[in-house]
Structure 1
Amino acid sequence: MNKTIKYLLSFLFFIQISCQKKKEHQKTKAMTKYEWLDATSAPLGYPVDVYRGGLESSDGEFTSLYSGTTAGSWGEANRGMNNGEKSIPNHLHVIWVSYAEKIFYEADTDIDYEKMIALFRNGYYTPSDGDDPNPRKENYNQIIVGFAPGGVVVVWLSGGGRQVEIGRYEGKKITIPKSEIDALSPGPQKNMFDPGYQSKIMHEFGIVPEEVAKANEGKPIPYGLWDSYRTEYNWTLVTELPNDLKNKDVGIYAYNGNREELFGETLVQKYPKIIPDNVKWNTPQKRTIPGKVDFSWVDENRYYSEIEFDKNEIFSAFKEVSSAEPNAEIELKVTVNIPKTSASVQLISGKKQVWLKNSKIMVRKTKYKD
Structure 2
Amino acid sequence: MMKALLINLFCNLLLLQSCNPEKQKMTQENFPYMVTVSAPEEYPIEVHQGYLSNGLKDLICGVPKAGMEQAGWQGDGSKAGMGSAEIPSHLYLTYVAYAEKKFYTVDADLPKDKILQLFRKGFLVQDNSKQTIVDGQEYYEMVPGTYDVLTIGAAPGGVIVIWLSGNHHRTEVCRLQAKEVFVDKNDFMGFTDTTESQQQFFDELYKITVPDSIKAEITKNGIPFGLWDKYREKFNYRFVLNPYDEEDELTGYYNINFNGESELTDDVKRANEYKLNSIPYDANLYFKKYFTEIFFNDKEMLEVFNTLKSKHPDKPIDIIITPTFMYNDMKVSVKCEDEEIPLKKYKVEGVWGG
> The TM-score by the shorter chain falls in which range?
0.7 to 0.9
Distance in 2, Cα, partners of 1:293 & 1:182: 43
Percentage identity across paired residues of the two chains: 24
Q: Deviations over 1:188-226 (max 9, x none)?
A: 9x999844443343333xx54444444444431111111
* Deviation at residue 167 of structure 1 after TM alignment: 0.8
Equivalent residue, structure 1, for 2:243:
241
Q: Which residue is 1:308 aligned to?
A: 295
CA distance in 2, matches of 1:150, 1:355: 33
Equivalent residue for 2:341, pick from 354, 358, 367: 354
Residue 227 (structure 2) aligns with:
225
Equivalent of 1:164 in 150, 166, 171:
171
Check conservation: 1:51, 1:66, Cα contact below 8 A. no
Is it true that 1:44 corresponds to 2:26 in the alignment? Answer: no
**Counterpart contact for 2:98–2:210, Cα < 8 Å:** no
C-alpha distance in structure 1 between counterparts of 2:187 and 2:234, whole Å: 46
RMSD: 3.0
Distance in 1 of aligned mates of 2:285 and 2:111: 32
**Are 1:147 and 2:146 an aligned pair?**
no
CA displacement at 1:138 relative to structure 2? 2.0
Q: Which of residues 184, 198, 204 in structure 1 aligns to 2:202?
A: 198
The residue that corresponds to 2:63 in the other structure is 65
Deviations 1:323-361 (A, max 9, x none): 134422111111113411111111111112111122112
CA shift digits 1:157-192 (9 cap, x unpaired): 10111101111110112224x6x957984189x999
The alpha-carbon deviation at position 126 of structure 1 amounts to 3.4
After TM superposition, list the pairs within 5 Å mapping 1:7-18 onto structure 2: none
> Aligned runs of 1:77-156 on 2, under 5 Å?
77-83=76-82, 85-127=84-126, 133-156=140-163
CA shift, 1:227, in A, is 0.6
Residue 79 of structure 1 deviates from its aligned partner by 1.8
Query: Which amino acid in the other structure matches residue 126 of structure 1?
Result: V
2:320 matched to which residue of 1?
333
Does structure 1 residue 255 correspond to structure 2 residue 258?
Answer: yes
* Partner residue in 1 for 2:22: none
Match of 2:308 among 313, 316, 321: 321
Deviations 1:1-49 (A, max 9, x none): xxxxxxxxxxxxxxxxxxxxxxxxxxxx9x9321111001111221112
Flag the 1:187–1:259 CA change in 2: closer, same or farther, 3 A. Answer: farther
Counterparts of 1:81 and 1:193, CA distance in 2: 30
Q: 1:40 to 1:334 in 2, by over 3 A?
A: same
> Do the aligned residues in 1 keep the contact of 2:251 with 2:271 (CA within 8 Å)?
no
Deviation at 1:262, TM superposition (A): 1.8
Mean CA deviation greater in 281-290 or 236-245 = 236-245
More displaced, 221-230 or 108-117? 108-117
**Equivalent-residue separation in structure 1 for 2:207 and 2:51 (angstroms):** 27
Distance in 2, Cα, partners of 1:144 & 1:84 = 11
Q: Is the 8 A contact 1:155 1:166 kept in 2?
A: yes
Give the Cα–Cα distance (whole angstroms) in 1 for the partners of residues 188 and 41 of structure 2.
Answer: 32
Aligned with residue 50 of structure 2, among 41, 53, 61: 53
Q: Distance in 1 between matches of 2:110 and 2:178?
A: 13
Normalising to structure 1: TM-score of the pair?
0.77
Aligned residue number for residue 17 of structure 2? none
Deviations 1:42-66 (A, max 9, x none): 1122111221122212252332224
CA distance in 2, matches of 1:210, 1:230: 27
Change (3 A) 1:297 1:80: same
Which of 288, 294, 308 is 2:278 aligned to?
288
- Aligned position for 1:9: none
Kept in 1, the 8 Å contact 2:61–2:82? The answer is no
Q: Summarize deviations over 1:234-254 as a string: whole Å, max 9, x none.
A: 111112233321233202111
Contact 1:126 1:263 in 2 (8 A): no
Q: Under a length normalisation based on structure 2, what TM-score does the superposition of the two structures give?
A: 0.80
* Alignment length (residue pairs): 317
* C-alpha distance in 1 between matches for 2:344 and 2:189: 54
The gaps in structure 1 that reach 5 residues or longer are: 1-28, 269-279
Question: Which amino acid letter does the alignment assign opposite residue 281 of structure 1?
Answer: A
1:5 aligns to what? none
Q: 1:338 to 1:184 in 2, by over 3 A?
A: closer
